[in-house]
């Protein structure tokens, strides 16, 4: 594949991402608190998470191991792998979702989304990157790494707090409090958005931007749906709390 072809695929994929964002204003992805019947066969929630996220880890690992990446590109690959190692092999074993299931169609669509996004980013980092050591001295590296690490920490703390709202065998929902939950309903999704914004700023290439568009397309509607769900479920839900951006949305 030439670079021009890769860019064409990225632009098409960005358009599909924007269309998905519009679609997700009307359709709520039926997993987690939004799970419902009528979406076909279901599988275990934990197995679903592993299957959905594994392609992102394995594809970047494949390109990382089989190509001769510069130190800057290797750093990007390693950050991606760290995130997806957690999401694929640690997060599913930490969540307290005993007996929960998710539709196979959600798993299949997430696998497809992850195959394309990781494929575009891995291919670029393997065959088209031209970073040099001086890339580590540029403004976008410093800004990007700060956003990525801050986002990672916010995502981890928030997911930890959410998971521990339940005792080991509980399945219900409670109002999360403390940390960024005082300002927004979904600091875990806010952290994840910061992370991939930081990644795109550091990488400064079209595949990383494409992935950021897709992350926004998935997470912004999910955050607003989570927020509406909290407000309709808990009459005493804090009025000033926003969905994902403190004071804004």
Minimum CB distance to ligand NDP, residue 123 (Å): 19
Contact between 210 and ligand NDP per CB under 6 A: no
| Number of neighbouring beta carbons within 10 Å of residue 159 | 20
The contact pattern for ligand NDP, residues 26-65, with x = CB under 6 A and - = no contact, is ------xx--------------------------------
Residues 42, 69, 77, 97: which binds ligand NDP (CB under 6 A)? 97
The phi and psi torsions of 183 (rounded to 5 degrees) equal: -115, -35
Closest CA to 67 of 134, 20, 121, 142: 121
Cα separation, 221 vs 130, whole angstroms: 35
Stretch that binds ligand NDP, among 6-14, 62-70, 165-173, 199-207 (CB under 6 A): 165-173
Residue number, 129 or 192, with CB nearest to ligand NDP: 192
Residue number, 58 or 95, with CB nearest to ligand NDP: 95
CB-based contacts of 28: which residues, under 8 Å, 6+ apart? 34, 221, 225
Stretch that binds ligand NDP, among 11-19, 68-76, 144-152, 161-169 (CB under 6 A): 161-169
Minimum CB distance to ligand NDP, residue 139 (Å): 25
Angle (nearest 5°) at CA 94 between 88 and 97: 100
Contact between 246 and ligand NDP per CB under 6 A: no
3-state secondary structure of 242: strand
How far, in whole angstroms, is CA 79 from its chain's centroid? 13
Output the DSSP codes for 1-29.
--HHHHHHHHHHHHHHHHHHHHHTTT---
Cα separation, 64 vs 74, whole angstroms: 7
Closest CA to 55 of 130, 126, 131, 109: 109
Stretch that binds ligand NDP, among 57-65, 68-76, 188-196, 240-248 (CB under 6 A): 188-196
Contact between 166 and ligand NDP per CB under 6 A: yes
The phi and psi torsions of 238 (rounded to 5 degrees) equal: -55, 125
Residue number, 176 or 206, with CB nearest to ligand NDP: 176
Stretch that binds ligand NDP, among 1-9, 138-146, 154-162, 200-208 (CB under 6 A): 154-162
Q: In the complex, which residues of this chain contact ligand NDP (CB under 6 A)?
A: 32-33, 95, 97, 100, 155, 159, 162-163, 165-166, 173-174, 176, 188-189, 192, 215, 218-219, 222, 226
């Amino acid at each position: 594949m030439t670079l021009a072809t890769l860019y064409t695929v990225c632009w098409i994929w960005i358009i599909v991402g924007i269309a998905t964002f519009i679609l997700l204003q009307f359709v709520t992805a039926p997993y987690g608190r939004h799970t419902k019947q009528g979406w076909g066969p279901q599988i275990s929630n934990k197995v679903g998470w592993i299957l959905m996220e594994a392609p992102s880890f394995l594809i970047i690992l494949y390109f990382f191991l089989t190509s001769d990446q510069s130190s800057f590109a290797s750093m990007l690959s390693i950050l991606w792998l760290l995130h997806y190692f957690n999401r694929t092999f640690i997060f599913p074993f930490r969540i307290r979702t005993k007996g929960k299931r998710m539709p196979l169609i959600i798993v299949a669509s997430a696998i497809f989304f992850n195959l394309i996004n990781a494929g575009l980013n891995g291919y670029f980092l393997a065959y088209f990157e031209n970073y040099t050591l001086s890339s580590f001295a540029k403004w976008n590296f410093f800004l990007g790494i700060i956003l990525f690490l801050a986002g990672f920490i916010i995502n981890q703390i928030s997911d930890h707090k959410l998971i521990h709202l339940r005792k080991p065998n509980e399945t219900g929902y409670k109002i999360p409090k403390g940390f960024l939950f005082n300002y927004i309903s979904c600091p875990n999704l806010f952290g994840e958005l910061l992370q991939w914004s930081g990644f795109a700023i550091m990488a400064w290439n079209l595949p990383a931007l494409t992935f950021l568009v897709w992350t926004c397309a998935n997470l912004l509607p999910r955050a607003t749906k989570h927020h509406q769900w909290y407000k309709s479920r808990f009459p005493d839900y804090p009025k000033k709390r926003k969905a994902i951006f403190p004071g804004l949305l």
